[in-house]
Chains A and B, each alone.
Chain A
Amino acid sequence: MSNEHTPLLEIRNIKKDFFGNQVLTDINFRLEEGQVLGFCGENGAGKSTLMKILFGMDVIRETGGYEGDILLNGQKVTFNSPFDAIAAGIGMVHQEFSLIPGFTATENILLDREPQKKSVISEIFGNRLNTLDRKEMSVRAEKAIDRMGVRIDPKMVVNEMPVGHKQFTEIARELSKDQLKLLILDEPTAVLTEKEAEALLDSIRGMASRGIAVIFITHRLHEILSVCDNVVVMRDGFVVKDVPAKDTNVEEITRWMVGRSVENAGSDSASVTDAGSDSRETIMKIEKLWVDMPGETVRNVNLEVKKGEILGIGGLAGQGKLGIPNGVMGLYEAGGKVTFDGKEIPLNSPRKCLDASLAFVSEDRRGVGLLLDESLEWNVAFPAMQIQNKFLKNYLGGLIKWRDEKAIHEVTQKYIDELQIRCTSSRQSAKELSGGNQQKVCLAKAFALEPKFLFVSEPTRGIDVGAKALVLNALKKFNRESGVTVVMISSELEELRQVCDRIAIVSGGKIAGILPAASPSEEFGMLMVSNVK
Chain B
Amino acid sequence: MEETKTKTFRDRIASFVESFGVPRLIIAGFLLALFIAAPFVGADLPTQISNTINRFCWNGILVLAMVPMVHSGCGLNFGLPLGIISGLLGATLSIELGFTGALSFFAAIVISTPFALILGAGYGWLLNKIKGGEMMIATYVGFSSVSFMCMMWLLLPYHSPNMVWGLSGKGLRTTISLEGYYNQALSGFLRIQIGNFSIPTGALLFFAFMAFCMWAFLHTKTGTAMTAVGSNPSFARAAGINVNKIRMLSVIMSTWLGAVGILVYEQGFGFIQLYMAPFYMALPAVSAILIGGASVNKATIMNVIIGTILFQGIVTMTPTVMNNVIHMDMSEVIRIIASQGMILYALTRKSEGGKS
A residues adjacent to B (C-beta < 8 A) = 329, 331, 350-351, 353-355, 360, 362, 364, 367-374, 378, 382-383, 385-387, 389, 392, 400-403, 431
Contacts and interface: CB of A to CB of B under 8 A. Distances in A.
A371 B237 contact: no
Contact of A354 (B219, B240, B298): B240
A382 B224 contact: yes
Interface string B222-246: 1111011001101101111110000
A387 B240 CA distance: 7
A403 B237 CA distance: 20
Instruction: For the complex of A and B, list the 10 residue pairs with the smallest distance between their C-beta atoms, beginning with the closest.
Output: A351-B240, A383-B239, A401-B221, A373-B354, A354-B240, A368-B234, A371-B231, A350-B240, A403-B219, A371-B232
A424 to B, nearest CB: 11
A362 B234 CA distance: 11
A353 B237 CA distance: 12
Contacts of A367: 232, 234
B356 interface: yes
B348 interface: no
B6 interface: no
A445 B239 CA distance: 10
Size bracket of the B interface: 20 to 34
A329 B239 CA distance: 10
B231 A403 contact: no
B239 A386 contact: yes
Nearest to B239: A383
B4 interface: no
29 contacts: A331-B238, A350-B238, A350-B239, A351-B240, A354-B239, A360-B238, A367-B232, A367-B234, A368-B232, A368-B238, A370-B232, A371-B228, A372-B231, A372-B356, A373-B232, A373-B356, A374-B227, A374-B228, A382-B235, A383-B239, A385-B221, A385-B224, A386-B221, A386-B225, A400-B216, A401-B220, A401-B222, A402-B219, A431-B356
A355 B240 contact: yes
Contact of A403 (B224, B234, B240, B298): B224
A373 B354 CA distance: 6
Contacts of A383: 238-240
B241 A386 contact: yes
A218 to B, nearest CB: 32
Contacts of B298: 373
Contacts of A378: 224, 228
Contacts of B240: 350-351, 353-355, 383, 386-387
Interface of B: 216, 219-225, 227-228, 231-232, 234-235, 237-242, 297-298, 354, 356
A365 to B, nearest CB: 10
A370 B240 CA distance: 14
A400 B220 CA distance: 7
Contact of A329 (B222, B231, B234, B238): B238
B25 to A, nearest CB: 24
Nearest to A355: B240
Contact of B221 (A360, A364, A403, A431): A403
A250 to B, nearest CB: 39
Given A350-B237, A355-B240, A403-B220, 6 more contacts: A362-B238, A367-B232, A378-B224, A383-B240, A386-B224, A389-B221
Given A373-B231, A373-B354, A374-B231, A382 B219 contact: no
Contacts of B232: 367-368, 370-373
Contacts of A385: 221, 224
Contacts of A353: 240
B228 A392 contact: no
A379 B3 CA distance: 27
Contacts of B297: 373
Nearest to B355: A373
B215 to A, nearest CB: 12
A360 B227 CA distance: 21
A402 B223 CA distance: 9
A345 to B, nearest CB: 13
Contacts of B241: 351, 386
**Residue of B224, B227, B228, B237 most packed against chain A (CB within 10 A):** B224
A431 B298 CA distance: 16
B235 A392 contact: no
A369 B237 CA distance: 10
Given A373-B298, A385-B221, A351 B228 contact: no
A389 to B, nearest CB: 7
Contacts of A350: 237-240
A362 B237 CA distance: 12
B12 to A, nearest CB: 19
A329 to B, nearest CB: 7
Nearest to A399: B220
Contacts of B220: 400-403
A382 B238 contact: no
A354 to B, nearest CB: 4
Contacts of B235: 368-371, 382
A372 B221 CA distance: 19
Contacts of B222: 401
B243 to A, nearest CB: 10
A447 to B, nearest CB: 14
A147 B227 CA distance: 58
Nearest to A353: B240
A373 B236 CA distance: 13
Contacts of A431: 356
A362 B239 CA distance: 11
Chain A CB within 10 A, most for which of B220, B227, B232, B237: B232
Contacts of A401: 220-222
Nearest to B224: A403
Give the most central of B216, B227, B240: most A CB within 10 Å.
B240
A374 B235 CA distance: 12
A249 B219 CA distance: 64
A331 B235 CA distance: 10
Which of B222, B241, B242, B298 has its CB near the most chain A CB atoms (within 10 A)? B241
A386 B221 CA distance: 7
A371 B229 CA distance: 9
Contacts of A360: 238
B58 to A, nearest CB: 30
A124 B352 CA distance: 46
A329 B228 CA distance: 19
A378 B221 CA distance: 12
Contacts of B237: 331, 350, 368
A332 to B, nearest CB: 11
A400 B356 CA distance: 33
Contacts of B224: 378, 382, 385-386, 403
